[in-house]
Amino acid sequence: MVKLLLMTLTILVPLTLAIPIAATLGLAGLLWIFQQHPAYLRGVGSAVWNTADSYLLMSIPLFLLMGEILSRSLISQRFYRALSLWLGWLPGGLLHSNIGACTIFSAVSGSSVATAGSIGAAAIPDLLRLGYPKGLVYGSLAAGGTLGILIPPSIPLIIYASLTNVSVGRLFAAGIIPGIGMALLFSLYIVLVSIGKGKAWQRRDPEEIRGVRTHLLAILNVLPIVSVIGIILIGIYTGWATPTEVAALGVIVAVVVAAVTGTLSFPMLRDAVYSSVRFTAVIVFVLIGATIFSYSLTMANAPQMVSAYVGSLSIDPIMVILAIILMYVILGTFMESLSMMIMTVSIVFPLITSLGFDPVWFGIVMVMVLEIGLLTPPIGMNLFAIQAVAPPGTNFWVVAKGSMPFVALMLVGVVFLLMFPQIALWLPSQMFR
Q: Does the pLDDT value for residue 52 go beyond 80? A: no
Within 10 A of 169 (CB to CB), how many other CB atoms are there?
Answer: 18
Backbone angles phi, psi at 300, to 5 degrees: -90, 5
Which of the four pLDDT bands, split at 50, 70 and 90, describes residue 408? very high
When comparing pLDDT for 198 and 289, which is higher?
Answer: 289
Give 239's DSSP letter: S
Q: Does the pLDDT value for residue 148 go beyond 90? A: no
> What pLDDT was estimated at residue 404?
92
Torsion sign, CA atoms 350, 354, 355, 359:
positive
Tell me the C-alpha to C-alpha distance, in Å, between residue 205 and each of 42, 96, 108, 118. 65, 15, 28, 20
Within 10 A of 407 (CB to CB), how many other CB atoms are there?
Answer: 22
Lowest-pLDDT choice from 48-57, 108-117, 134-143, 223-232: 108-117
Q: Taking Cα atoms as reference points, which of 255, 241, 280 lies closest to residue 111?
A: 280
The span from the CA of 77 to the CA of 120, in Å, is: 9
Q: Does the pLDDT value for residue 376 go beyond 80? A: yes
Alpha carbon 28 to its chain's center: 27
The span from the CA of 331 to the CA of 340, in Å, is: 7
336 in Cβ contact with 327 (< 8 Å): no
Ranked by mean pLDDT, which of 152-156, 198-202, 342-346, 355-359 comes out on top?
355-359
Q: Does the pLDDT value for residue 339 go beyond 50? A: yes
**Mind spelling out the 3-state secondary structure of 156-207?**
HHHHHHHHHCCCHHHHHHHHHHHHHHHHHHHHHHHHHHHHHCCCCCCCCCCC
AA identity, residue 42: R
As a whole-number percent, the residues of the chain with pLDDT over 90 amount to: 11
What is the overall mean pLDDT for the chain? 81
> What pLDDT was estimated at residue 216?
60
How many degrees, rounded to 5, is the angle at CA 357 between CA 355 and CA 360? 145
When comparing pLDDT for 178 and 200, which is higher?
Answer: 178
Backbone angles phi, psi at 403, to 5 degrees: -90, -15
168 in Cβ contact with 431 (< 8 Å): no
172 in Cβ contact with 153 (< 8 Å): yes
Lowest-pLDDT choice from 84-93, 182-191, 209-218: 209-218
Within 10 A of 289 (CB to CB), how many other CB atoms are there?
Answer: 26
Give 57's DSSP letter: G
When comparing pLDDT for 378 and 368, which is higher?
Answer: 368
> What pLDDT was estimated at residue 111?
67
Alpha carbon 282 to its chain's center: 16
Q: What is the mean pLDDT of residues 404-421?
A: 93
Tens digits of per-residue pLDDT, 86-111?
776 677 777 888 888 887 777 666 66
95 in Cβ contact with 127 (< 8 Å): yes
Q: Does the pLDDT value for residue 124 go beyond 50? A: yes
Which of the four pLDDT bands, split at 50, 70 and 90, describes residue 1? low
Q: Is 27 exposed, middle or buried (0-12, 13-18, 19+ CB in 10 A)?
A: middle
Backbone angles phi, psi at 320, to 5 degrees: -65, -45
Tens digits of per-residue pLDDT, 228-284?
777 777 887 777 778 788 888 888 888 888 888 788 888 988 988 988 888 888 888
Which of the four pLDDT bands, split at 50, 70 and 90, describes residue 419? very high
Backbone angles phi, psi at 180, to 5 degrees: -65, -40
Q: What is the mean pLDDT of residues 118-128?
A: 80
149 in Cβ contact with 155 (< 8 Å): yes
Q: Does the pLDDT value for residue 62 go beyond 80? A: yes
Q: Taking Cα atoms as reference points, which of 407, 408, 377 lies closest to residue 395?
A: 377
> What pLDDT was estimated at residue 425?
94
Q: What is the mean pLDDT of residues 147-173?
A: 84
> What pLDDT was estimated at residue 119?
77
377 in Cβ contact with 333 (< 8 Å): yes
**Cβ within 8 Å of residue 318, ≥6 positions away:** 418
Backbone angles phi, psi at 301, to 5 degrees: 60, 30
Q: Does the pLDDT value for residue 208 go beyond 60? A: no
The span from the CA of 383 to the CA of 208, in Å, is: 30
> What pLDDT was estimated at residue 214?
59
Tens digits of per-residue pLDDT, 282-331?
888 888 888 888 888 778 777 667 777 776 777 888 888 988 888 888 87
Q: What is the mean pLDDT of residues 101-125?
A: 75
How many degrees, rounded to 5, is the angle at CA 249 between CA 245 and CA 251? 115
**Cβ within 8 Å of residue 175, ≥6 positions away:** 150, 151, 152, 154, 157, 364, 367, 424
